[in-house]
């Protein structure tokens, strides 16, 4: 097993089994030591969307990974004020580990074609691997928009790091909707997360 760390940022509102399965597939395929979930307080692409309190989302992530030796949670973005730009997070995390430890950032297949809109994306792809967790049949193919910000070798590296992960049709939006409608979320989220949602009265 390599000493690499795969960083998985997101709002995780709430975290669900789809997130956990994708992260496990990535660390297994890369043969990395672990995946670290990083809840975002203020992602630039979701400003004004009324996220659940960051403390609740952080706690749900911690509950979800409890007992999983290859999973961890970091509050590095929540502790930092301002928008959650990925490159700033990776730079800050890099300072906490040995220089020789490889870092990767996990994105979904829907995010990869939009990577050219990310802040300092050319610097980001030099700082860490960008690994795409793609569901079978949903591997992104048209990356022409990235040519405006990235070199051909950088885009080729992105293509090589598209990994096929299990298709799990769960979304945080659907989990929130089901809770709001009084429907069960059993098997969609870990039991401890479901208990936290109920005890805190979230998504009602």
For 124-159, give one letter per residue: b (16+ CB within 10 A) or e. Answer: bbebbbbbbbbbeeeebeebeebeebbeeebbeebe
- 131 φψ region: left (φ > 0), alpha (ψ -120 to 50), beta (else): beta
d(CA 63, CA 76): 17
139 is written with which tokens? 């591997």
In the CATH scheme, what is the code of domain 5-169? Answer: 3.40.50.620
State the pLDDT at residue 45: 60
Q: What are phi and psi of 41, to 5 degrees?
A: -80, -40
State the pLDDT at residue 141: 80
For 56-95, give one letter per residue: b (16+ CB within 10 A) or e. Answer: bbbbbbbbbbeeeeebbbbebbbeeeeebbbbbbbeebbe
CB 197 within 8 A of CB 179: yes
d(CA 200, CA 190): 16
Angstrom CA distances, 82 to 47, 53, 79, 196, stand at 11, 15, 10, 27
CB 143 within 8 A of CB 107: no
Q: Which residues contact 124 (CB under 8 A, 6 or more apart)?
A: 86, 87, 90, 105, 118, 130
d(CA 89, CA 28): 23
State the pLDDT at residue 47: 53
Indicate the pTM of the whole model: 0.93
Which residue, among 107, 111, 71, has the nearest Cα to 89 in the 3D structure? 107
188 is written with which tokens? 């969609």
State the pLDDT at residue 180: 98
For each of the chain's 204 residues, which pLDDT tens digit applies? Answer: 578 999 999 999 999 999 999 999 999 999 999 999 999 987 666 555 679 999 999 999 999 999 999 999 999 999 987 788 999 999 999 999 999 999 999 999 889 999 999 999 999 999 999 999 997 777 788 899 999 999 999 999 999 999 999 988 899 999 999 999 999 999 999 999 999 999 999 999
Which residue, among 55, 3, 54, 57, has the nearest Cα to 30 in the 3D structure? 3
State the pLDDT at residue 44: 64
What are the extents of the domains in the chain?
A: 5-169
């Amino acid at each position: 097993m390599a000493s690499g760390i795969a960083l998985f940022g997101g709002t995780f509102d709430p975290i669900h089994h789809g997130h956990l399965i994708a992260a496990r597939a990535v660390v297994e395929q890369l043969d990395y030591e672990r995946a670290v979930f990083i809840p975002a307080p203020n992602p630039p692409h979701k400003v004004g969307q009324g996220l659940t309190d960051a403390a609740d989302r952080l706690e749900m992530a911690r509950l979800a990974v409890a007992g999983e030796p290859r999973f961890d949670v970091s509050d590095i973005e929540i502790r930092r004020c301002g928008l959650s730009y990925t490159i700033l997070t990776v730079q800050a995390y890099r300072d906490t580990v040995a220089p020789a430890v490889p870092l990767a950032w996990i994105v979904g297949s829907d995010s990869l074609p939009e990577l050219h809109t990310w802040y300092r994306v050319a610097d980001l792809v030099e700082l860490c691997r960008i690994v795409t967790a793609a569901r079978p049949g949903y591997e992104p193919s048209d990356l022409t928009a990235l040519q405006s910000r990235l070199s051909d070798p950088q885009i080729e590296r992105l293509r090589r790091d598209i990994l096929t992960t299990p298709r799990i049709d769960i979304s945080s939006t659907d989990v929130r909707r089901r809770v709001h409608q009084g429907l069960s979320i059993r098997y969609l989220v870990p039991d401890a997360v479901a208990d936290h949602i109920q005890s805190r009265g979230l998504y009602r």
